[in-house]
A and B are shown apart, each in its own frame.
Chain A
Amino acid sequence: TQLLEQSPQFLSIQEGENLTVYCNSSSVFSSLQWYRQEPGEGPVLLVTVVTGGEVKKLKRLTFQFGDARKDSSLHITAAQPGDTGLYLCAGGRTNAGKSTFGDGTTLTVKP
C-alpha cells in the first residue's frame, strides 16, 4: 500500500509569514498533485509535478518534487487569510487512474 504522510497536520500562522508543508512517502510516484480544499467544498487542483527535482511556482506558492519522486513540498510566501484551507497531496504510480491521498495539512492564516 502506498502511503503519503503530510506534515504538519495543523498550522496556524499570522498574515505575512512564510510556511512550508511536506508530503513524504517511501514509494516512487510518477506524478504528484497538490490540492486546496475550503470548508464545505471539494478539493481544487493547484499543480501537478511529474519530473524529479521539478519546481513550479503559482504566484506566492512554490511546489517542489523530490529528486527521487518520493516526496514534495509546498512553500507559501507572505501568507494571506485567503490561503486558509486544507492542503492535500496526492500521488499515483501511473499518470492516469487512481491516486493515493495524504491526510492533509489544515492551514489557518490569521489577519
Chain B
Amino acid sequence: DVKVTQSSRYLVKRTGEKVFLECVQDMDHENMFWYRQDPGLGLRLIYFSYDVKMKEKGDIPEGYSVSREKKERFSLILESASTNQTSMYLCASRSGQGGGYTFGSGTRLTVV
C-alpha cells in the first residue's frame, strides 16, 4: 500500500520554538508539497519541490522553510513558531507523470 507518512499526528509547541515537520513517501514520486488547512480558508500551498534539493515558494511561504535532501523526504521548518501558525499541516506527493496527489494523514500543530 503506497504511503505518505507524516512524523507526528499531534504537536504542541511554544511560541518562538523552531519546529520540524517531517514527511516521507515510498512511491518514488518526484513532486512533494506542504499545505496548511484552516477552517474557511481551504488548502493553502506553503512550499513544493520538483526534485531533490529543489524548492519553490507556494502561496504562503512567509515564516516557513523547507528541505529536500533525499527524494523520499520533504521537511517543513517553522523558523520561529507563532500562534498564527496553529493549523493542520498536510504533506502530499505526486508523480512527475501526473495524476492526483497522495496525502499524509496530517499533523495538527498547536502553538501556545
A12 vs B67: C-alpha distance in the bound complex, in angstroms?
Answer: 42
Q: Is the CB of B106 within 8 A of A98?
A: no
For chain A, the bracket of interface size reads 20 to 34
Residues of B within 8 A of A45 (CB): 100-102
Residues of A within 8 A of B101 (CB): 33, 35, 43, 45, 90, 99
Which residue on A lies nearest to B41, using beta carbons? A103
Q: Which of B19-36 contact A (CB under 8 A)?
A: 30-31, 33
Summed over the interface, the residue pairs from A and B with CB atoms below 8 Å come to a total of 56
Q: Is the CB of B45 within 8 A of A48?
A: no
Chain B positions near chain A (C-beta within 8 angstroms): 4, 30-31, 33, 41-43, 45, 48, 50, 58, 90, 92, 94-106, 108
- Name 30 A/B residue pairs within 8 A (Cβ), A-sorted: A31-B98, A33-B100, A33-B101, A35-B100, A40-B105, A40-B106, A40-B108, A42-B90, A42-B104, A42-B106, A43-B90, A43-B101, A43-B103, A44-B103, A45-B102, A48-B99, A48-B100, A90-B100, A90-B101, A95-B99, A96-B30, A96-B31, A96-B94, A96-B95, A96-B97, A97-B94, A101-B42, A101-B43, A103-B41, A104-B42
Chain A positions near chain B (C-beta within 8 angstroms): 31, 33, 35, 40-45, 48, 88, 90, 94-99, 101-104
